[in-house]
A and B are shown apart, each in its own frame.
Chain A
Amino acid sequence: MPKWGMVIDLDKCTGCQACTTACAMENNTLPGESWQDVLFYHEGKYPNTSIKWFPRPCMQCENPSCVHVCPTRATYKTDDGVVLIDWNKCIGCKYCMIACPYGVRFYADEKPLLEPDIRQAFPGSDGQMWSPPFQNPESDWSKGIGIQPRGVVSKCTFCYHKISKAPAGVADLDEDNPDLVEYVPACVRTCAPKARYFGDLDNPESKVNELIANKRGTRVFEHTGNKPQVYYLGEHGTVPKFEPQFDDQA
């Protein structure tokens, strides 16, 4: 059984947000419900102003605080190392959202980011919150895959509907390998500068382990003890200082 993990090289990431849109279309998330968001920061005074960006999927923690607090055991850790939500059990209490140190869980039953509400353009059927004609045919509510019903929390699944079908024993899911491309998470598959790698953290032969070792992979917020299975490479491999922005007023 693999222990799936991801490596993101911040020296190669261009902040383009293709990971965000690939995820949004693969998983049919709403505008603003970015399971794979890219956060932007800027600091310094003119002309020495720097812009930094930080792509942020679910960290798929080894020791996930969200799982510990879930009162209905709706959110759980799979044997192959992924944190999922069973929408059939989730009651939408949001304890997990508060417990998560990384802010990667979403409750979409709220005022839409954009008006007009896209859910009204494509009204829900079969219990779905919305039902666009372009939705992915893959759906499994017991794993939080597909379009959610109302009243549940959603999150990145590492594209579990893809990775769970990968051939047994493979060390890395490399999107450049035609035999494996269909099993690669959407964000990794599309990343043009190849800033993302996906593989088995329990396999000593994997590229992800090689990169973590050779390029000093770091995890975000080690002090929480959550032990993320997402590692970052590069000089900016920490969450930049948070400075509040003004609210959108448009």
Chain B
Amino acid sequence: PISQSQAQRRSAGETVVTKNVCHQCPARCGIDVYTTDGRVHGIYGSMNSPIANGKLCPKGHLGTYILYDPDRYKGPMRRTNPNKGRDEDPQFESISWEEALDIVAGRLNNLRDNDESHRFAILYGRGWGASCAGLLGTFGQLYGSPNTALGHSSMCSDGSMVAKGLTDGNEAYNAYDYKNVNYLLNFGAGFLEAFRPYNYLMQVWGHIRTKSPKTRVTAIDVHANATNAAADRKLLIRPGTDGAMALAIAHVILTEGLWDKEFVGDFRDGRNRFESGEVIDGDTFNQRWVHGLDVWWNEELKDRTPEWAEEVTSIPARHIREVAREFGTTRPAMAIFERGPTAHSNGTWNGMAIHALNALVGALFAEGGMFYQMGPSYGPLPASAGDYMDDHAQRVRERIASGELPRIDMKGTDRWPLARNMMQEIGPNHHKGDPYKLDTVMFYLNNPIWTAPDSKAWEEAFKDIFVIETSPFPSESAKYADIILPDHTYLERLQDAPSYPFEGWPITTLRTPAVDPLYDTKVFGDTLIEIGKRINGSMSEYYQALDNTENVLRHLAEGFRDNPGSNGVNDFESWKREGVWYKKPYHWRQRRGVFYEWDGEGYNRRMSPSEVREKLLRTPSGRFEFVSGKLEQYADYVAQEFGIPAERAGIIQWVAPEHPGGGDLYFSTPKTAMHAEGRGANIPHAISLLQPVMGGRRTVYLEIHPETARARGIRSGDRVKIRSELGEIEAYCRYFEGTRPDTVVLPMEHGHWAQGRWAESRKPGHSGEITVNRSDRISGLASYYTTKVSVERA
């Protein structure tokens, strides 16, 4: 096209780089945002971010699409169509922020006046920090509701947290010293796809696979994927049976004498008496940092041979033995796991069995092992909420404390005594009016009407609730919304984000706006503060004192003055400039069975057993518990829910998974590397690269083993129906020799009926619609991978 010839063009404007934090997964990678003439045109990892180190995962670069998404909401709106449903156009009309906030506050004040403030709930998803999700609990305390900080963790990965809490006393995700590990045993964590922090894990991968000695990796999953294809050994296990494999590995480690004697202890005379099927005399074994090893062996482990596990898992016994010998003889070694083993009815049991392997090889708090995360040194907020509680707030607090007023999700009641949250129960509970009906609900970075298992039940349940949606995108929740109070996108926000567990030392990041907000939006923290200012009584004074989120952040940063970061950050301005405050090193280290604390120069101060119990192994015994003291306290509940005799309730043991749904094929719905939580569904570039192994560039495919398909008359490429007792969805299938013949795999991504022009109506159907709402009775984690389905040609 000579007719269109164009000379070299270069923008006249100067390019500005601002610090921000990626918003497309929980990892909190620092990003450098490149802006020229007021337009953002590039995102790269920040070199000074300890997580990003100048790098990004495939999602990170696509953030500009989120800022310039043509389907964004452009300001606050009110619904005019009273009918709600998938196919109902809400017929939104624009209103001013003043109007919108007054409507919400008026509603909340009415509820309070009628003594029904508990019927207001805030459901949140990817909360970031003290300046957004961190404000939710206080809001409920002052307003008078147990329901303003309803987290999504039971629809995320609570299984691993709870399993760790029951065994080593830390109900949290681990921090990991991957750089120094020599053996990685991975049970169903998408290490090279979706495990957090993904970007950093790939940096680690490049290191551990080229260092000397090269780290050996065994990866266990239900289908071939990038993680196990890159590993040294791939084992395709029957879904939900990882715990049986872990128990058999433990059995071999003990019978072959491969456990870490300095951490675990040893027989008093040094002679190994662990023999398959034979009990030991507990008095002959001197346990060091573990509790209940003799009981665990005698009551459970002695019969958990590789041959037994082969029957349960379908993994050949010789492979289990090989893995156990490698894992038991290579140090440092660690076993990691996430939703693969835990999103099942027996998830906590699976998790405890896997985590027990870490105790057996002494990985806890060791170099090349795993720790827990320290929190940042934040300064106090400008006001203390306790000073602003009026009579109503006091009365509700007493009703909550006495148990008279439970949370809507029944977390912490005898229905879910050990769960951390139970978001998947909120829709059904409201629908039944049990424990009560909600009146008004607000969503923050959360969309359970689409993401919950049995999501269609929520569509029915939420028709009679006043819904406040704060997403700037036309989400499924927005379709049900009565009012839209749109948030900024992350490149427009000022917001803190302390890190998820990373390497143990504290780290907190800060988003700085790259551009002024494109539209009439408001950062969620300010929306909440503005509503708070409009609530009657002393609550409003508290929010007057907070004033706005920038003020909150400035107060938080005051904590850095006395505790400057390793990168010199010591106030708000330097935090903004660097985008991150962090303080090395981690304070504790276990070396050869002795715990040390950092004394300012090295891990030199030897810790007493009581200090270890207080700070590191926070169990009743102060040791790693193969017989969980906490679970023993809930023996009646365990007996009732699992049919386990009360005296065995605390023992890490094999519990078979349950598979509702009525089908004959296990249904697994993993996330892929391009899955940017809810925000990726409308990004054209993400969709075009979503499922590379299967060629999913416009859709995602149901992976089906050729024999499984042929037996049903299904050809590769056919449109198929996937059916459970909840209903059916359609998908296109592809033959894949990497998927177990008893399992079908469909990445959880498409099937949106809202979210914007690229997301809407994109096949296949949404997996949640046919996923039975069944949860692990201990952790409460939704059993996303436990439903069985049938598949036939459409």
Do A and B truly interact?
yes
A 10-47 to B, binary, CB cutoff 8 A, 1 in contact else 0: 01101111101110111000011010001010101111
Main SS class of interface, A? loop
Query: Which B residues are in CB contact (< 8 Å) with A221?
Result: none
Within 8 A of B (CB), among A96-152: 113-114, 116, 118, 121-122, 126-127, 132-142, 146, 149-152
B62 near A250 with CB under 8 A, answer no
B686 to chain A minimum Cβ distance, whole angstroms, is 8
> B695 and A193: CB pair below 8 A?
no
Task: Give min CB distance, B594 to chain A, whole Å.
Answer: 35
Partner of A15 from B1, B43, B692, B732 at Cβ < 8 Å: B692
Q: How many A-B residue pairs have CB under 8 A?
A: 222
A52 to B44, CA, bound (A): 27
Q: Chain A contacts of B61 at CB under 8 A?
A: 18, 21-22, 24-25, 190
Q: Which of B50-58, B154-162, B607-615 is found at the contact surface with chain A?
A: B50-58
Cα separation A42 to B2 with both chains bound (whole Å) = 44
**Known A49-B738, A135-B41, A193-B202; contact A113-B698, beta-carbon cutoff 8 A:** yes
Chain A residues positioned under 8 Å from B402 (CB to CB): none
For the residues of B in contact with A, the DSSP-based class is: loop
Cβ–Cβ < 8 Å partners of A88 in chain B? 1-2, 4-6
Of the candidates A16, A137, A151, which one forms a contact with B57 in the assembled complex, judged by CB atoms under 8 Å apart? Answer: A16
B92 contacts the other chain (CB 8 A): no
Q: Which of B6, B65, B705 has the most CB of A within 10 A?
A: B6
Chain B contacts for A160, CB-based, 8 A? none
Residues of chain B contacted by A192 (CB below 8 angstroms):
55-57, 199-200, 202-203, 205-206
Chain A interface size, under 10 / 10 to 19 / 20 to 34 / 35 or more: 35 or more
A249 touches B8 (CB 8 A): no
Query: Which of B37, B57, B764: most chain A Cβ within 10 A?
Result: B57
Asked if residues A20 and B1 are in contact (CB atoms below 8 Å), the reply is no
Q: In the complex, are the beta carbons of B692 and A22 less than 8 A apart?
A: no
- Please classify how large the interface on chain B is, using the bins under 10, 10 to 19, 20 to 34, 35 or more: 35 or more
Question: Using Cβ atoms and an 8 Å threshold, which residues of chain B touch A14?
Answer: 192, 202, 205, 226, 230
Assuming the contacts A38-B692, A192-B203, A250-B698, asked whether A31 and B4 have C-beta atoms less than 8 A apart, the reply is no
A236 to B37 Cα, complex, angstroms:
45
A169 at the interface (CB under 8 A from B): no
Residue of A nearest to B191 (CB): A14
A78-106 near B? 1/0 per residue, CB < 8 Å = 00000000011111100000000000000
Interface-facing stretch out of B10-18, B321-329, B629-637: B10-18
B695 and chain A: residue at smallest CB distance = A245
Stretch from A56-64, A175-183, A200-208, A224-232 that touches the partner: A175-183
B 1-35 to A, binary, CB cutoff 8 A, 1 in contact else 0: 11011111111010100000000000000000000
Q: Are A113 and B763 in contact (CB under 8 A)?
A: no
Complex: how many Å from CA A246 to CA B733?
A: 10
Q: How far is the CB of B746 from chain A (nearest CB, A)?
A: 13
Separation of A116 and B44 alpha carbons in the complex (Å): 28
Are A134 and B693 touching (Cβ within 8 A)?
Answer: no
B684 contacts A by Cβ under 8 Å: yes
CB of A152 within 8 A of CB of B1, answer: yes
* Residue in B closest to A139 when the chains form the complex, CB atoms: B9
Question: Do the beta carbons of A32 and B697 come within 8 Å of each other?
Answer: yes
Contact A250 B732 (CB under 8 A): yes
Contact across chains for A126 and B6 when beta carbons are under 8 A apart: yes
How distant is the Cα of A193 from the Cα of B1 in the complex, in angstroms?
A: 41
Interface readout for B676-710 with A: 1 if CB under 8 Å, 0 if not?
00000000111111001101011100000100000
Residues 193-217 of chain A, each 1 if its beta carbon lies under 8 Å from chain B, else 0: 1110000000000000000000000
Task: Write out, one digit per residue, whether chain B residues 535-575 have a CB within 8 A of any chain A CB (1) or not (0).
Answer: 00000000000000000000000000000000000000000
Decide yes or no whether B64 CB sits under 8 A from chain A.
yes
Q: Does chain B have a CB within 8 A of A51?
A: yes
A residues in contact with B4, CB < 8 Å: 88, 127, 149
Neighbouring A residues of B43 by C-beta, 8 Å: 25
In the bound assembly, the distance between CA atoms of A129 and B365 in angstroms comes to: 56
CB distance from A203 to the nearest CB of B (A): 23
Complex interface: chain A residues within 8 A of B486 (CB): none
Say if the beta carbon of A222 comes within 8 Å of chain B: no
Q: Is the CB of A249 within 8 A of B717?
A: yes
Question: Given known contacts A12-B206, A20-B689, A53-B692, what 4 new A-B pairs fall within 8 Å (CB)?
Answer: A17-B689, A17-B692, A139-B10, A250-B763
List residues of B whose CB falls within 8 A of some A CB: 1-2, 4-11, 13, 15, 36-37, 39-45, 47, 54-62, 64-65, 67-68, 70, 192, 198-200, 202-203, 205-207, 209-210, 224-226, 229-230, 234, 236, 673-674, 684-689, 692-693, 695, 697-699, 705, 716-717, 719, 732, 734, 736-741, 757-758, 762-764
- Which 6 residue pairs are nearest across A and B when measured between Cβ atoms? A193-B206, A137-B11, A250-B699, A192-B202, A31-B688, A51-B229
Ordered by A's residue number, 22 sampled pairs between the chains whose C-beta atoms are within 8 Å are: A12-B209, A15-B692, A16-B192, A24-B61, A38-B692, A42-B224, A53-B226, A87-B6, A90-B1, A114-B687, A116-B758, A134-B41, A135-B41, A137-B15, A186-B44, A190-B45, A192-B199, A192-B200, A193-B206, A193-B207, A193-B209, A250-B762
